[in-house]
Amino acid sequence: MKSKKWTEFLEELGESKDQEINVDLLKTIVKFPNEKMTFLELEHYLSNEFQVHFNKDSNRSKWHKKDKYLLIWCIVKLAEKRNIKFNELVFMKPKYALQHRNGVFQYFSTVLDLPTQFLIKKWMSLLKQSLRDIPWTQEEDKLLIELRNKYPNNDWTIIAEEFIYLAPNLRYQKQIRERYNNVINPKINKKPFTHQEKQTLMLKAQQLKKNWSSISKLMPGRTDNKIKNCYNSIVKKIAKKIHLDKSDPKQEQQILKYIQKYNTYDPDELANQIEKIETNFSPIKVEHINDNSNTSNHQNHISPILPSFQPLPFIYAQYYQNYYYPPNINYPLIYFHGSEAKKF
């Protein structure tokens, strides 16, 4: 059964209701569903399925492809008829655009018999543009603080719905919550982390498996993001100092074990402790030759193959007259003369 508002909507559209919408253009702005319907199919769906699915007695919450197409079709047709720029329903920088947007969704709230905030939320889920790219304004921050004070029991669904309806720019619910918790919450401690806080953070990171939300409850005033950034900074410095790869989960766990074992997160102190332990357990002690020693190199050298020989006495010279002794060598290299001579 068609509602009276739907009939009035079609009368306003006139002949334009039979014209096809520009699908190619819309695909660059919204996540256009594969399900496409003619005007007659759309009208039949609205009367026989859509209104049944979303009546007051229905618990349906899933948004089907035909539902998406119906909403897009309605918004496009109304925007064309009333000369509303389509981008004003996406990025609402001008003040008058907020009125256009709310006016459009308030209107379709009566046409489709659904809450205004619900339709705005569904519309946001269809947008392709990244809402995170829009810089936050002082007006938005002020509004968010007011709503948070109005709803102090962490009911972010209600806060987000009211914020989306009142704010000049569209924002996702998660984006709204993170903005307050990580940036504008007056309870945030923006001072550098103390030694005790860092010690607690590094010890709890392994125990709680880097659950930043749980760790933040142990560190009042410190946000999840600040805690995570502090942790990554410390681990990165330690990994560089002791030559481990932070991106390797196993090596990252090894770093946390070192921190707990030696009870320090200081890279230099940790590296010294590790080197000290490894040196004490080394099976071979290596002594390096002092390059500044006055002792000549040949006096320190011991041949790994031939033993050292003392110079032969002069009285045996007649028996070794065919031998030649190179200078500065502790063992003889024999050169034969005559028929037994060997050239090297």
Read off the pTM. Answer: 0.53
**pLDDT (average), residues 46-74:** 75
Place of tokens 């006016």: 103
287 belongs to a structural domain: no
- Asked if residues 75 and 104 have their Cβ atoms less than 8 Å apart, the reply is yes
Domains identified in the chain, total number: 4
Instruction: Read off the pLDDT band of 143 (50, 70, 90).
Output: very high
User: Sign of dihedral through CA atoms 107, 112, 113, 114?
Assistant: negative
User: Do 120 and 148 sit in the same domain of this protein?
Assistant: no
User: Do 164 and 60 sit in the same domain of this protein?
Assistant: no
129/41: higher pLDDT? 41
41/83: higher pLDDT? 41
User: Do 169 and 75 sit in the same domain of this protein?
Assistant: no
**pLDDT (average), residues 21-40:** 84
189 belongs to a structural domain: no
Poorest-confidence range of 96-100, 115-119, 150-154, 285-289? Answer: 285-289
pLDDT higher than threshold 70 for residue 27: yes
Instruction: Read off the pLDDT band of 99 (50, 70, 90).
Output: low
Percent of the chain with pLDDT over 70: 70
User: Do 137 and 89 sit in the same domain of this protein?
Assistant: no
pLDDT higher than threshold 90 for residue 142: yes
286 belongs to a structural domain: no
Q: Please tell me the predicted confidence (pLDDT) of residue 313.
A: 47
- Asked if residues 323 and 332 have their Cβ atoms less than 8 Å apart, the reply is yes
**pLDDT (average), residues 317-323:** 49
290 belongs to a structural domain: no
285 belongs to a structural domain: no
Instruction: Read off the pLDDT band of 97 (50, 70, 90).
Output: low
b/e for 197-220, b at 16 or more Cβ within 10 A? bbebbbebbeeeeeebeebbeebe
pLDDT higher than threshold 60 for residue 320: no
- Asked if residues 171 and 143 have their Cβ atoms less than 8 Å apart, the reply is no
Q: Please tell me the predicted confidence (pLDDT) of residue 94.
A: 46
For the stretch 187-238, pLDDT in tens is 899 899 999 999 999 999 989 999 998 999 899 999 999 999 999 999 999 9
User: Do 205 and 157 sit in the same domain of this protein?
Assistant: no
Percent of the chain with pLDDT over 90: 22
Q: Please tell me the predicted confidence (pLDDT) of residue 158.
A: 84
User: Do 123 and 175 sit in the same domain of this protein?
Assistant: no
289 belongs to a structural domain: no
pLDDT higher than threshold 50 for residue 329: no
User: Do 256 and 301 sit in the same domain of this protein?
Assistant: no
- Which element (helix H / strand E) includes 108? helix 95-112
Q: Please tell me the predicted confidence (pLDDT) of residue 237.
A: 93
Q: Which residues contact 266 (CB under 8 A, 6 or more apart)?
A: none
> Domain of 268?
195-280
